[in-house]
Amino acid sequence: MVSDESEAVLRILDIESKGAMPTDKDWAALFATDGYRRLKERELGMKRKFEDDDFRAFVGSADLIANREVLRTALDAWEHADVRECQARALAYLPKGADITAKVYILIKPLKNSFVWGIPDDPAIMLYLDPAKSKEAFTNTVAHEMHHIGYGRSCPSKAFKDWLEKQSEARKTAYLWLGAFGEGFAVLAAAPGLNGSPEGTAAADVQADWAHGMANQPEQFRDVETFFLQVLDGKLDSSQAAEKARDFYGIVGPWYTVGYTMATTIEKVYGRTKLIACYQDPRLLIPTYQAAATRLTPSPPLWSHEFVDGLK
Protein backbone atom coordinates (compact mmCIF):
# COMPACT_ATOMS: atom_id res chain seq x y z
CA MET A 1 0.00 0.00 0.00
CA VAL A 2 1.44 3.36 -1.07
CA SER A 3 0.12 6.57 0.51
CA ASP A 4 3.12 8.84 -0.05
CA GLU A 5 1.24 11.22 -2.36
CA SER A 6 -1.64 11.70 0.10
CA GLU A 7 0.75 12.25 2.99
CA ALA A 8 2.72 14.84 1.00
CA VAL A 9 -0.48 16.68 0.05
CA LEU A 10 -1.62 16.73 3.69
CA ARG A 11 1.73 18.20 4.79
CA ILE A 12 1.28 21.04 2.31
CA LEU A 13 -2.34 21.55 3.41
CA ASP A 14 -1.14 21.93 7.00
CA ILE A 15 1.32 24.63 5.90
CA GLU A 16 -1.35 26.45 3.91
CA SER A 17 -3.88 26.24 6.77
CA LYS A 18 -1.49 28.40 8.86
CA GLY A 19 -1.40 31.08 6.17
CA ALA A 20 2.13 30.16 5.08
CA MET A 21 3.37 29.38 1.58
CA PRO A 22 4.77 25.93 0.76
CA THR A 23 8.38 26.08 -0.39
CA ASP A 24 9.77 24.74 -3.64
CA LYS A 25 11.19 21.92 -1.55
CA ASP A 26 7.69 21.02 -0.30
CA TRP A 27 6.33 20.88 -3.85
CA ALA A 28 9.34 18.93 -5.10
CA ALA A 29 8.78 16.36 -2.35
CA LEU A 30 5.16 15.94 -3.48
CA PHE A 31 6.00 15.67 -7.18
CA ALA A 32 8.70 13.09 -6.41
CA THR A 33 6.33 10.68 -4.66
CA ASP A 34 5.61 7.36 -6.32
CA GLY A 35 1.88 8.04 -6.14
CA TYR A 36 2.09 11.38 -7.93
CA ARG A 37 4.44 9.98 -10.56
CA ARG A 38 2.11 7.07 -11.34
CA LEU A 39 -0.98 9.31 -11.35
CA LYS A 40 0.65 11.72 -13.82
CA GLU A 41 1.81 8.83 -15.98
CA ARG A 42 -1.70 7.42 -16.11
CA GLU A 43 -3.46 10.70 -16.89
CA LEU A 44 -1.02 11.53 -19.68
CA GLY A 45 -1.40 7.94 -20.94
CA MET A 46 -5.16 8.59 -21.17
CA LYS A 47 -4.41 11.74 -23.23
CA ARG A 48 -5.59 14.02 -20.43
CA LYS A 49 -4.01 17.34 -19.54
CA PHE A 50 -2.02 17.05 -16.31
CA GLU A 51 0.28 19.90 -15.30
CA ASP A 52 2.17 20.42 -12.05
CA ASP A 53 0.94 24.01 -11.86
CA ASP A 54 -2.70 22.86 -12.13
CA PHE A 55 -2.10 20.42 -9.29
CA ARG A 56 -0.58 23.23 -7.18
CA ALA A 57 -3.79 25.22 -7.68
CA PHE A 58 -5.89 22.20 -6.68
CA VAL A 59 -3.90 21.68 -3.47
CA GLY A 60 -4.24 25.38 -2.70
CA SER A 61 -8.05 25.36 -2.93
CA ALA A 62 -9.94 26.58 0.15
CA ASP A 63 -12.21 23.50 0.22
CA LEU A 64 -9.30 21.09 0.29
CA ILE A 65 -7.53 23.04 3.03
CA ALA A 66 -10.74 23.05 5.11
CA ASN A 67 -11.20 19.29 4.69
CA ARG A 68 -7.64 18.29 5.57
CA GLU A 69 -8.52 16.72 8.95
CA VAL A 70 -11.36 14.70 7.44
CA LEU A 71 -8.99 13.47 4.75
CA ARG A 72 -6.36 12.61 7.36
CA THR A 73 -8.88 10.56 9.37
CA ALA A 74 -9.94 8.65 6.26
CA LEU A 75 -6.34 8.01 5.27
CA ASP A 76 -5.55 6.63 8.71
CA ALA A 77 -8.52 4.23 8.52
CA TRP A 78 -7.62 3.02 5.03
CA GLU A 79 -3.98 2.52 5.93
CA HIS A 80 -5.08 0.09 8.65
CA ALA A 81 -7.04 -2.08 6.21
CA ASP A 82 -5.61 -5.53 5.55
CA VAL A 83 -4.70 -5.71 1.86
CA ARG A 84 -3.61 -9.33 2.37
CA GLU A 85 -7.22 -10.12 3.16
CA CYS A 86 -8.22 -8.43 -0.10
CA GLN A 87 -5.73 -10.60 -1.96
CA ALA A 88 -7.06 -13.74 -0.27
CA ARG A 89 -10.64 -12.91 -1.29
CA ALA A 90 -9.59 -12.48 -4.91
CA LEU A 91 -7.41 -15.61 -5.04
CA ALA A 92 -10.25 -17.73 -3.67
CA TYR A 93 -12.07 -17.11 -6.96
CA LEU A 94 -9.15 -17.68 -9.32
CA PRO A 95 -7.36 -20.76 -10.69
CA LYS A 96 -4.58 -22.36 -8.67
CA GLY A 97 -1.32 -20.59 -9.32
CA ALA A 98 -2.99 -17.26 -10.12
CA ASP A 99 -0.77 -14.30 -9.34
CA ILE A 100 -1.81 -10.98 -7.85
CA THR A 101 1.01 -8.52 -7.40
CA ALA A 102 -0.01 -4.88 -7.22
CA LYS A 103 0.57 -1.57 -5.50
CA VAL A 104 -2.48 0.05 -3.92
CA TYR A 105 -2.16 3.84 -4.19
CA ILE A 106 -4.25 6.13 -1.98
CA LEU A 107 -4.48 9.49 -3.74
CA ILE A 108 -5.75 12.99 -3.05
CA LYS A 109 -6.50 14.24 -6.56
CA PRO A 110 -8.88 16.48 -8.54
CA LEU A 111 -10.90 13.69 -10.20
CA LYS A 112 -12.89 11.51 -7.80
CA ASN A 113 -12.43 8.30 -9.78
CA SER A 114 -10.57 5.08 -8.98
CA PHE A 115 -9.04 2.68 -11.48
CA VAL A 116 -6.48 0.00 -12.28
CA TRP A 117 -3.45 0.97 -14.33
CA GLY A 118 -0.25 -0.64 -15.61
CA ILE A 119 -1.46 -4.21 -16.20
CA PRO A 120 0.37 -6.52 -16.80
CA ASP A 121 3.85 -5.03 -16.21
CA ASP A 122 3.41 -2.96 -13.03
CA PRO A 123 -0.21 -3.19 -11.81
CA ALA A 124 -1.45 -0.23 -9.80
CA ILE A 125 -4.79 0.06 -8.02
CA MET A 126 -5.24 3.82 -7.83
CA LEU A 127 -7.92 4.94 -5.39
CA TYR A 128 -9.32 8.41 -4.77
CA LEU A 129 -9.26 9.12 -1.01
CA ASP A 130 -12.97 9.45 -0.30
CA PRO A 131 -13.76 10.38 3.32
CA ALA A 132 -17.26 8.95 2.87
CA LYS A 133 -15.86 5.48 2.18
CA SER A 134 -15.31 3.31 5.26
CA LYS A 135 -12.38 0.98 5.81
CA GLU A 136 -14.74 -1.93 4.97
CA ALA A 137 -15.76 -0.29 1.70
CA PHE A 138 -12.10 0.34 0.90
CA THR A 139 -11.33 -3.35 1.52
CA ASN A 140 -14.17 -4.39 -0.79
CA THR A 141 -12.96 -2.08 -3.56
CA VAL A 142 -9.36 -3.31 -3.33
CA ALA A 143 -10.49 -6.96 -3.38
CA HIS A 144 -12.65 -6.23 -6.43
CA GLU A 145 -9.76 -4.61 -8.30
CA MET A 146 -7.34 -7.36 -7.23
CA HIS A 147 -9.67 -9.93 -8.75
CA HIS A 148 -9.54 -8.01 -12.03
CA ILE A 149 -5.74 -8.15 -11.95
CA GLY A 150 -5.59 -11.87 -11.16
CA TYR A 151 -8.36 -12.64 -13.65
CA GLY A 152 -6.58 -10.71 -16.37
CA ARG A 153 -3.35 -12.59 -15.74
CA SER A 154 -4.74 -16.12 -15.43
CA CYS A 155 -7.96 -16.21 -17.45
CA PRO A 156 -8.83 -17.34 -20.01
CA SER A 157 -6.52 -20.29 -20.60
CA LYS A 158 -3.98 -20.52 -23.42
CA ALA A 159 -6.01 -23.34 -24.97
CA PHE A 160 -9.05 -21.07 -25.21
CA LYS A 161 -7.00 -18.21 -26.64
CA ASP A 162 -5.55 -20.53 -29.29
CA TRP A 163 -9.07 -21.65 -30.23
CA LEU A 164 -10.39 -18.09 -30.37
CA GLU A 165 -7.61 -17.02 -32.76
CA LYS A 166 -9.13 -19.32 -35.40
CA GLN A 167 -12.66 -17.93 -35.07
CA SER A 168 -14.49 -15.26 -37.07
CA GLU A 169 -14.08 -11.60 -36.16
CA ALA A 170 -17.69 -11.52 -34.96
CA ARG A 171 -17.11 -14.41 -32.57
CA LYS A 172 -13.83 -12.89 -31.37
CA THR A 173 -15.65 -9.65 -30.56
CA ALA A 174 -18.46 -11.50 -28.80
CA TYR A 175 -16.05 -13.43 -26.59
CA LEU A 176 -14.08 -10.27 -25.89
CA TRP A 177 -17.18 -8.68 -24.39
CA LEU A 178 -18.21 -11.85 -22.63
CA GLY A 179 -15.16 -11.05 -20.51
CA ALA A 180 -16.89 -7.86 -19.33
CA PHE A 181 -18.99 -10.06 -17.05
CA GLY A 182 -15.78 -10.14 -15.04
CA GLU A 183 -17.21 -7.10 -13.23
CA GLY A 184 -19.85 -9.35 -11.70
CA PHE A 185 -17.29 -12.07 -11.01
CA ALA A 186 -15.19 -9.53 -9.09
CA VAL A 187 -18.25 -8.43 -7.08
CA LEU A 188 -18.74 -12.04 -5.94
CA ALA A 189 -15.08 -12.43 -4.96
CA ALA A 190 -15.02 -9.15 -3.04
CA ALA A 191 -18.34 -9.79 -1.23
CA PRO A 192 -16.70 -12.21 -0.18
CA GLY A 193 -18.46 -15.23 -1.67
CA LEU A 194 -22.06 -16.38 -1.69
CA ASN A 195 -22.69 -15.47 1.94
CA GLY A 196 -21.33 -11.95 1.62
CA SER A 197 -23.18 -8.74 0.83
CA PRO A 198 -22.30 -7.78 -2.75
CA GLU A 199 -22.70 -4.03 -2.34
CA GLY A 200 -23.46 -3.68 1.37
CA THR A 201 -20.53 -1.36 2.06
CA ALA A 202 -20.99 0.80 -1.05
CA ALA A 203 -22.23 4.36 -1.27
CA ALA A 204 -25.99 4.96 -1.36
CA ASP A 205 -26.12 5.61 -5.13
CA VAL A 206 -24.24 2.38 -5.83
CA GLN A 207 -26.54 0.38 -3.56
CA ALA A 208 -29.59 1.91 -5.23
CA ASP A 209 -28.32 1.13 -8.73
CA TRP A 210 -27.43 -2.40 -7.66
CA ALA A 211 -30.89 -2.99 -6.17
CA HIS A 212 -32.55 -1.64 -9.32
CA GLY A 213 -30.47 -3.91 -11.55
CA MET A 214 -31.07 -7.02 -9.49
CA ALA A 215 -34.82 -6.29 -9.45
CA ASN A 216 -34.82 -6.03 -13.25
CA GLN A 217 -32.68 -9.00 -14.28
CA PRO A 218 -35.02 -10.28 -17.04
CA GLU A 219 -34.84 -6.92 -18.81
CA GLN A 220 -31.08 -6.66 -18.34
CA PHE A 221 -30.54 -10.19 -19.68
CA ARG A 222 -32.59 -9.31 -22.77
CA ASP A 223 -30.70 -6.06 -23.36
CA VAL A 224 -27.31 -7.76 -23.11
CA GLU A 225 -28.45 -10.67 -25.27
CA THR A 226 -29.65 -8.30 -28.01
CA PHE A 227 -26.20 -6.73 -27.99
CA PHE A 228 -24.44 -10.10 -28.35
CA LEU A 229 -26.77 -11.26 -31.13
CA GLN A 230 -26.09 -8.07 -33.08
CA VAL A 231 -22.37 -8.71 -32.70
CA LEU A 232 -22.64 -12.35 -33.76
CA ASP A 233 -24.83 -11.39 -36.75
CA GLY A 234 -22.24 -8.84 -37.89
CA LYS A 235 -24.55 -5.86 -37.29
CA LEU A 236 -22.01 -4.32 -34.91
CA ASP A 237 -18.31 -4.30 -35.79
CA SER A 238 -15.66 -4.19 -33.06
CA SER A 239 -15.68 -0.39 -32.70
CA GLN A 240 -19.48 -0.18 -32.72
CA ALA A 241 -19.63 -3.00 -30.19
CA ALA A 242 -17.22 -1.16 -27.90
CA GLU A 243 -19.37 1.96 -28.07
CA LYS A 244 -22.55 0.03 -27.23
CA ALA A 245 -20.89 -2.10 -24.53
CA ARG A 246 -20.00 1.02 -22.57
CA ASP A 247 -23.72 1.50 -21.91
CA PHE A 248 -23.71 -1.63 -19.78
CA TYR A 249 -21.23 -0.32 -17.22
CA GLY A 250 -23.07 2.64 -15.69
CA ILE A 251 -22.63 2.90 -11.93
CA VAL A 252 -23.24 -0.84 -11.64
CA GLY A 253 -24.89 -1.86 -14.90
CA PRO A 254 -25.56 -5.31 -16.42
CA TRP A 255 -21.88 -6.25 -16.70
CA TYR A 256 -21.96 -6.24 -12.90
CA THR A 257 -25.43 -7.53 -12.06
CA VAL A 258 -25.89 -10.10 -14.84
CA GLY A 259 -22.32 -11.30 -14.37
CA TYR A 260 -22.98 -11.69 -10.64
CA THR A 261 -26.23 -13.57 -11.26
CA MET A 262 -24.51 -16.02 -13.60
CA ALA A 263 -21.54 -16.57 -11.27
CA THR A 264 -23.63 -17.11 -8.14
CA THR A 265 -26.04 -19.43 -9.98
CA ILE A 266 -23.19 -21.63 -11.20
CA GLU A 267 -21.52 -21.73 -7.81
CA LYS A 268 -24.76 -22.56 -5.98
CA VAL A 269 -25.48 -25.52 -8.25
CA TYR A 270 -22.07 -26.83 -9.30
CA GLY A 271 -19.59 -25.31 -6.84
CA ARG A 272 -16.74 -22.87 -7.06
CA THR A 273 -14.36 -25.19 -8.92
CA LYS A 274 -16.80 -25.40 -11.84
CA LEU A 275 -17.25 -21.63 -11.81
CA ILE A 276 -13.49 -21.06 -12.03
CA ALA A 277 -13.35 -23.55 -14.90
CA CYS A 278 -15.80 -21.28 -16.74
CA TYR A 279 -13.45 -18.35 -16.16
CA GLN A 280 -10.63 -20.33 -17.74
CA ASP A 281 -12.73 -21.49 -20.70
CA PRO A 282 -15.47 -18.93 -21.48
CA ARG A 283 -17.07 -21.40 -23.90
CA LEU A 284 -18.41 -23.12 -20.77
CA LEU A 285 -19.91 -20.02 -19.16
CA ILE A 286 -23.25 -19.64 -20.95
CA PRO A 287 -24.19 -23.35 -21.27
CA THR A 288 -23.14 -24.06 -17.67
CA TYR A 289 -25.23 -21.15 -16.46
CA GLN A 290 -28.20 -22.35 -18.51
CA ALA A 291 -28.02 -25.81 -17.00
CA ALA A 292 -27.60 -24.45 -13.48
CA ALA A 293 -30.46 -21.94 -13.82
CA THR A 294 -32.95 -24.66 -14.74
CA ARG A 295 -32.15 -26.46 -11.49
CA LEU A 296 -33.04 -23.52 -9.25
CA THR A 297 -36.53 -22.56 -8.09
CA PRO A 298 -37.42 -19.91 -8.95
CA SER A 299 -35.21 -20.01 -12.01
CA PRO A 300 -33.17 -16.92 -12.84
CA PRO A 301 -33.48 -15.59 -16.42
CA LEU A 302 -32.40 -17.89 -19.24
CA TRP A 303 -30.55 -17.03 -22.44
CA SER A 304 -32.19 -17.83 -25.78
CA HIS A 305 -31.17 -20.92 -27.77
CA GLU A 306 -30.14 -18.54 -30.56
CA PHE A 307 -27.55 -16.88 -28.32
CA VAL A 308 -26.28 -20.17 -26.84
CA ASP A 309 -25.89 -21.70 -30.30
CA GLY A 310 -24.31 -18.55 -31.72
CA LEU A 311 -21.35 -18.87 -29.35
CA LYS A 312 -20.66 -22.51 -30.19
Q: Are residues 108 and 247 in the same domain?
A: no
Asked whether 72 and 6 are in contact (CB, 8 A), the reply is no
Per-residue pLDDT tens over the stretch 12-30: 999 999 999 999 999 999 9
User: Could you tell me what percent of the chain has a pLDDT over 70?
Assistant: 100
- Please state the three-class secondary structure of 19-32 as a single string: CCCCCHHHHHHHHC
HEC readout, 147-187: HHHHHHHHCCCHHHHHHHHCCCHHHHHHHHHHHHHHHHHHH
Judge contact between 208 and 141, C-beta under 8 A. Answer: no
> Is pLDDT of 120 > 80?
no
Using CA atoms, how far residue 85 sits from 51, 91, 139, 202, in Å, is 36, 10, 8, 18
Shared domain check, 162 and 147: no
- Do 114 and 195 have their domain in common? no
Predicted local confidence at residue 227, as pLDDT: 98
| Same domain for 141 and 85 | yes
Q: Is the pLDDT of residue 207 over 90?
A: yes
Distances (CA, A) of 215 to 208, 219, 276: 11, 9, 26
164/279 same-domain check = yes
- On whether both 70 and 173 belong to a single domain, the answer is no
Which of these three, 152, 167, 201, is where a domain ends?
Answer: 152
Q: What is the pLDDT of residue 63?
A: 96
Q: How many angstroms separate the CA atoms of 47 and 105, rounded?
A: 21
Claim to verify: residue 108 and residue 249 sit in the same structural domain: no
The pLDDT of residue 301 is: 98
pLDDT-derived band at 119, boundaries 50, 70, 90:
confident
pLDDT in tens, 76-92: 999 999 999 999 999 99
Q: Diameter of the chain by CA atoms?
A: 69
Whether the per-residue pLDDT at 237 is higher than 90: the answer is yes
Number of domains forming the structure of the chain: 2
pLDDT at 163 > cutoff 90: yes
Are residues 293 and 161 part of one domain? yes
Q: Tell me what pLDDT residue 121 has.
A: 82
Task: Please state the rounded mean pLDDT for residues 140-145.
Answer: 95
pLDDT band at 200 (very low <50, low <70, confident <90, very high): confident
Average pLDDT over residues 128-151: 94
Range of the domain at 293: 156-310
Is the predicted pLDDT of residue 162 greater than 80, yes or no? yes
pLDDT at 229: 98
Residues 180 and 71 in one domain: no
**What is the structure's pLDDT at 156?**
97
Mean pLDDT, range 243-265, rounded to an integer: 96
Q: Give the torsion sign (CA, 273, 277, 279, 283).
A: negative
Q: Are residues 173 and 273 in the same domain?
A: yes
**pLDDT value of residue 125:** 96
Mean pLDDT of all residues in 211-226: 98
295 pLDDT above the threshold of 90: yes
Q: What average pLDDT does range 263-268 have in this prediction?
A: 98
Q: Is the pLDDT of residue 101 over 80?
A: yes
pLDDT value of residue 241: 98
Does 55 lie in the same domain as 37?
A: yes
Mean pLDDT, residues 221-247 taken together? 97
Over residues 31-40, the mean pLDDT reads 98
- 152, 169, 190: which is the final residue of a domain? 152
* Predicted pLDDT of residue 133: 92
Mean pLDDT of the chain: 96
Residue 128 phi/psi, 5-degree rounding, is -70, 130
Q: 94, 117, 152 — which closes off a domain?
A: 152
- 195 pLDDT more than 90: yes
